Amino acid sequence: MSTRSREQQLAWGLLAPALVVLGAFGLFPIGYALYVSLHKWRIKKEAVVGFDHYVRALGDAQYLLPFVAGIGLVWAAYRLRATLSKRGLRPLYVCIAWGAVALSGLWLGSVQGLGGLVETGDPALYNGFKVTFFYAVGTIPCQLGLATGLAYLLFKVVRARGAFRTLFFLPYVTPIIASAVVFRTIFSPHPSSLANRFWSFWGLESQRWLYESKSVVALLLQGAGFASYPAWVDSFFPSLALTSIILYNIWVYVGYDTVILLAGLSAIPKQYYEAAEMDGAGEWQVFRHITLPLVSPTLFFLSMVAVIGTFKAFNHVYIMRTPGARDSVDVLSIAIFDQVFEYHNAGYASAMAFVLFVAILALTLLQNRVLGRRVFYGD
């Protein structure tokens, strides 16, 4: 037996325990869930339904083609702009070509494709996607922005850095169920709750917080004296209950992001800052041209983890959801949970879970493709 063969056998032997664990607790459950999604499965397997669960969830299959074609055109517009710019065409021609293809893709994908899918698909699925989108958009930018600012301030502070780091990290290591119950008490609709006391301090009326299904914009319009507002306001903006959950999520994860970013800032060589200081660079110039580019790999990692985490959020949302909020806080994982434990429909829930899996995978690949090119890894 050659040396290469012995090395390969040794490698597979060392990998075997990990592969067994991965297959038993990773690949097999995924494969079994796919098998369940193809059956009518309540307490036990009843009948083979094929892809009927996916059609019921996503909607009429005839709208899938325009939706996919629209996404393809938007992606082609993204690639076209870079290609035409490299060939030295005038910016006006580049913008016209890019805009024509992009608008065609948006119209075909949203109006023709997504509009038809939403009309014929499961309202719970698309409401879950909408709420999850609101949750992600409301959480990730604020979370990363605050974490970046706090990490930069701690990076400049020499004394008590370890104490502040521990203090900021405490919400992340606190049991999520316990902290969610505490926040549910804080956001109680009772006038004596901590949130309403803070609200009344500014002379504002008490709010129902986690029990309010109206959007934040609708409540602001009512507070400004508008007796009525368009019905789409509640559909296109997050509810006050979801906003309260977003605030909880930011409180929990901003400390974790701060500690990770602080580690990334500490890894930046001091020579860059010394050279910038000698050249007379200001604080903002140093942050913009040195700190942000060199910490961009850490920000990219945290953004990917945050996107995946928000689309899988369940524990604290389940604890903080209330009947008054209706379905305005039901992220997709909550909708899947209800299908299993409320309607006892494991087959359909598995199909919804695979739709969520594909959505997370697509977003991760898109994020890696678009944002990954803007990450600076050094020479």
Q: Which pLDDT score is estimated for 93? A: 61
- Could you report the per-residue pLDDT of 253-301, keeping only the tens digit for each? 999 999 999 989 888 888 888 888 888 888 888 888 888 889 999 999 9
When divided into structural domains, the chain yields a total of 2
Is there a domain that residue 254 lies in?
Answer: yes
Neighbours of 43 (CB within 10 A): 7
Question: Domain range spanning residue 79?
Answer: 30-119
| 301 within 8 A of 372, measured Cβ to Cβ | no
- Could you report the per-residue pLDDT of 184-202, keeping only the tens digit for each? 999 999 999 999 999 888 8
- Could you report the per-residue pLDDT of 200-237, keeping only the tens digit for each? 888 888 899 999 999 998 888 887 777 788 888 888 89
- Could you report the per-residue pLDDT of 64-109, keeping only the tens digit for each? 888 888 888 888 877 776 676 666 655 666 677 667 777 787 787 7
Same domain, 183 and 50: no
Same domain, 104 and 156: no
Q: Which pLDDT score is estimated for 306? A: 93
Domain end among 119, 148, 180? 119
The tokens describing 111, both together, are 């109006």
Give the bridge partners for 39, in sequence order: 48
Mean pLDDT of 105-117: 81
The radius of gyration computed from the CA coordinates of the chain, to the nearest angstrom, equals 25
Mean pLDDT of 316-340: 92
Same domain, 62 and 87: yes
The tokens describing 113, both together, are 């494709």
Summary mean pLDDT of the chain: 87
Same domain, 101 and 136: no
Same domain, 202 and 273: yes
Higher pLDDT, 251 or 233: 251
Q: What is the pTM of this model?
A: 0.89
CA–CA separation, 227 and 219 (whole Å)? 11
- Could you report the per-residue pLDDT of 8-55, keeping only the tens digit for each? 888 899 999 999 999 999 899 889 989 999 998 887 788 888 889 999
State the DSSP string of 304-342: HHHHHHHHT--HHHHHH--GGGTTTT--HHHHHHHHHHT
Is there a domain that residue 316 lies in?
Answer: yes
Is there a domain that residue 132 lies in?
Answer: yes
Q: Which pLDDT score is estimated for 109? A: 77
Q: Which pLDDT score is estimated for 84? A: 65
Is there a domain that residue 19 lies in?
Answer: no
Same domain, 96 and 133: no
| Residue 379 in this model has a pLDDT that exceeds 60 | no
Domain end among 92, 119, 146? 119
Same domain, 169 and 266: yes
Q: Which pLDDT score is estimated for 65? A: 85
Same domain, 129 and 115: no
Element (H, E) at 46: strand 45-48
Mean pLDDT of 356-379: 83
Domain end among 102, 119, 136? 119
**pLDDT classification of 180: cutoffs 50, 70, 90:** very high
